[in-house]
Chains A and B, each alone.
Chain A
């Protein structure tokens, strides 16, 4: 089922491209004509453009995903690198101006000194203005493997000095750079959203579609299964299934295991929507017409039903991504999700969810900002898509 959607999608994209080449000359001539000839997807795009928030959200999301993909290059250091002299360091400012040397085009950061105050029990930092570390692009740093392809030591930005502090978002209690950890965490958290929803979608489409199309016994069985799953709160279900994951799994395997569980619990909503849509589409005139015209079941589904609700599916999927990302955070909060040393936004936030942090190390809440922004952006996009979903209105 899912493959079909993708196939369908790529085909429409093809069509879109063709229509572009054909229609673009005329487009300027007569917009009304273009409107009549434009494909469904093109119409959707026109409608989508009207949603300003969604239009802002798309580039932001792209940026987030790109930085997640290239996190090892973008981050100044490695997520496990400890700077023992800078534990719980506050974020540093980037400066261009210094009293002594005046303005410089090359930005720099000041040195810092950590001291443990045995009276207040706090690690205190003083800025050491005598030490300046200029920032460079493409500096040599900790070695890593770029996208797992080739080993390198080049990082986008840094001081080039392994002992110099460079923490744009501060450090955690072990002295690890938070920005680096957030960028690496984005990989897990953002992909969890996408992969989780794709899997959920697959399950939901399959079961919902079966239930909706065939009806009868299949429908009854799947409906009762859905009833059952909805009756039981998700937490015990999650705990039971999570406990069933083999103990000797590595963190990568566990990550995928968790995605599978997540989908196994969350497919019901989607399946219900799909079934409902199937049921109503089955009654539509054009389905009837196709059936009378002698079209096979498969053809009806593929040619007539899927196109008319694939846009809905995309909307629902987009809306489900943010709740999946939030779900990961909530599970981490309860100690049921991913755990350190895995680095995800939920795990990072787990370290920060105490009064001590809120009061004294508020920069550790940065992961929350990233969660909020990405969830917000997904919702905007979803909202825009929703408005655009049925362009013939």
Chain B
């Protein structure tokens, strides 16, 4: 096991290196650069920017270096000092920009994920064991509706109707008095009710998808011979269900934990924009749009590291859970 883990860890180094290069390049692939956009933005709002200011800004952020030079400075500081660089756009160290937001994003994502599992897995099992019952159809229908309506539209409609009913704007994650305040119990308690709407919307499409997956996997397992054998031997339905099929049905969930993080971040971005949530998604999008490469690059790198470790974790988990994998996999 240990050799397996260390082998996998070693494998990660070139992967992360390649990712860091790719990330840095793709951020800069779209035409233009941060300063041109920045200066043009100011010019359009009526502010003149002197030539000197542009030159100075370039020098300050190392934008006068060639691309590989910029990459070298960036990666060197990360490796040697753990310094993620400065966000040009925010005028702040990247770690400061991302810090709280990443925490909130992970919080929303993890809570949504847990909620999705709690709701979707039982429904999926029920739907599979009661295939073509009216409840199966009802769950399918509701689930698919959640899957079919674009998240941003649900968010927008929800925001409008809540406003129309109550005159309040259900945006953001904190009440005004806690916005920008340091963390405290009060702030944490304030956060909880504000998370309901985003968690529901983020969770909506995920739940529907997971119901389908669980239902499908269960149906597959239930038709296998060991189930029939067990049933023939008189194992109780409940025991029969939970002893193997359920465990195997959630198998793919465990194996994809690692990949859910980037997917959740991408999915959360759009909803967060509509709901004005202080999470990472909108920040990343903005950073990409204006090519704030240290912010976007560092953030994407963090995500990749999380994903890579997540994958490793789920592989180890799988090996622990599934003896077939533990003993050398399916390869003959």
Question: Which A residues contact B (CB, under 8 angstroms)?
Answer: 50-53, 224, 227-228, 230-237, 239-240, 242-244, 279-280, 283, 319, 322, 326, 329-330, 333-334, 349, 353-355, 358-359, 365, 368, 371-373, 375-376, 379-380, 383, 386-387, 390, 393
Contact = CB atoms under 8 A, between A and B. Distances in A.
B42 interface: no
A330 B150 contact: yes
Contact of A322 (B19, B147, B216, B263): B147
B15 A224 contact: yes
22 contacts: A228-B18, A228-B19, A228-B22, A230-B262, A231-B19, A233-B262, A233-B284, A234-B262, A235-B269, A236-B26, A239-B30, A239-B289, A242-B30, A244-B29, A319-B212, A322-B148, A330-B151, A353-B153, A358-B157, A379-B144, A383-B144, A387-B219
A240 B29 contact: yes
B148 A372 contact: yes
A333 B150 CA distance: 10
Interface string B280-298: 0000110011000000100
B288 A235 contact: yes
B101 to A, nearest CB: 15
Given A228-B19, A358-B160, A368 B147 contact: no
A236 B150 contact: no
Given A240-B29, A283-B332, A368 B150 contact: yes
Contacts of B74: none
Is chain B's binding surface mostly helix, strand, loop or mixed? Answer: helix
B47 to A, nearest CB: 24
A359 B15 CA distance: 50
A368 B303 contact: no
Contacts of B160: 355, 358-359
A239 B288 contact: yes
B150 A232 contact: no
Given A227-B311, A355-B160, A233 B265 contact: yes
A329 B147 contact: no
B144 A233 contact: no
Nearest to A269: B259
Q: Which of A231, A232, A322, A358 gathers the greatest number of chain B CB atoms within 10 Å?
A: A231
Contacts of A334: 270, 285
Contacts of A242: 30
A240 B153 contact: no
A366 to B, nearest CB: 12
A380 B143 CA distance: 11
Contacts of B29: 239-240, 243-244
Contacts of A319: 212
A243 B148 contact: no
A393 B223 contact: yes
Contact of B152 (A333, A358, A393): A333
A230 B15 CA distance: 12
B30 A240 contact: yes
Interface string B142-171: 001101111111001101100010000000
Nearest to B19: A231
B115 interface: no
Nearest to B258: A230
A229 to B, nearest CB: 10
Given A231-B303, A232-B300, A349-B153, A240 B26 contact: yes
B50 to A, nearest CB: 30
A387 B285 CA distance: 39
A184 to B, nearest CB: 20
B72 interface: no
Contacts of A231: 15, 19, 262, 303-304, 307-308
